Amino acid sequence: MQKPNVQRFAGIYAGLLVSMLASLPAFALETVEPGSLTVAFTGDMPGTGYQDSRMVGYDGEILQQISEKLGLKVKPALMDWASTIASVQANRVDVMAGTMGWTEQRAKIMTVSDPIHYFKNGITQTDKTNWSSLKDLQGKKVGTITGFSFIPEMRKIEGLQVALYDTSDAAVRDLLAGRIDAVIGDPPVMQYAIFRNQQWHLRFNAFTDNDPEFPLLTGLGQVVYGFNKEASPQLVAAVNEQIQTLWKSCEMRKIGARYGLTQDVWYVPQGNNLRSGVDRPADWQLPGCK
């Protein structure tokens, strides 16, 4: 009777084991619903949307690609902004997305991803002006959205009159009607609106200032995803690894171009890295793509 080839059997077993391990991510990554990535989002473009069973928008496309790479099916959860944060904290969803800027306070209540793009606040204005500094806004009437964190800084600009609006649409309408001189809004939203409506003859200029007295208005912003503090470390690490891969291939720029985000300000980090020593190691470097 021929004895079994133990060495050959061991080789086959090892090959099967490697094959099994290669297909593990979809099942090994711990999520709220096994095999799915439940995403809380607001549907505000150009950040997030859901169309033809896929996430769209800049943030959305990136998450869609990441989910596919990890073998997870996206489960959309559309809700208002306040509810996205509450859902993450209550662990009802895996991740929240929608042009969320990193802040130290958010890093205390959530686990925050690596940046998917950068932004600097700036001035939305008609093409008859070309303002790009805090000084340019002195004595002007400037609209913004109720609840934005930088409003106290706006009030510090000499002679500036703040006009508060509930929505970006309302602020832009007043700008077009000449009732205000400029708008300081959500940078990607402003850029996307201008990109889609060139007949408005508006422009967006990021602030050229880097003034420590106005850190929220003039500092470097990072758009990120938010996870529950108790989220699986493996899931967060896997998402961050995919984000880094997209930066290295410059895929971030290709996605952004579809939503009018073409300038370097979205992809080249300039300014202080506020996360070093806070929720990242002191020597952690910001990714970028020129």
Buried b (16+ CB within 10 A) or exposed e, 160-192: beebebeebeebbebbeeeebbbbbbbbbbbbb
What is the token pair recorded at 184? Answer: 């300081």
Does residue 135 sit in helix, strand or coil? helix
Beta bridge partners of 49: 56
The rounded radius of gyration (Å) of the Cα atoms in the chain is: 22
Q: Is 171 helix (H, G, I), strand (E, B) or coil?
A: helix
Q: pLDDT by residue for the chain (290 residues), tens digit each?
A: 434 444 443 444 444 433 443 444 445 799 999 999 999 998 989 999 999 999 999 999 999 999 999 999 999 999 988 889 999 999 999 999 988 889 888 999 999 999 999 998 999 999 999 999 999 999 999 999 988 889 999 999 999 999 999 888 999 999 999 999 999 998 988 999 999 999 999 999 999 998 989 988 998 899 999 999 999 999 999 999 999 999 999 999 999 999 989 989 899 998 778 899 999 999 999 999 98
Q: Are strands 95-101 and 36-41 parallel, antiparallel or unpaired?
A: parallel
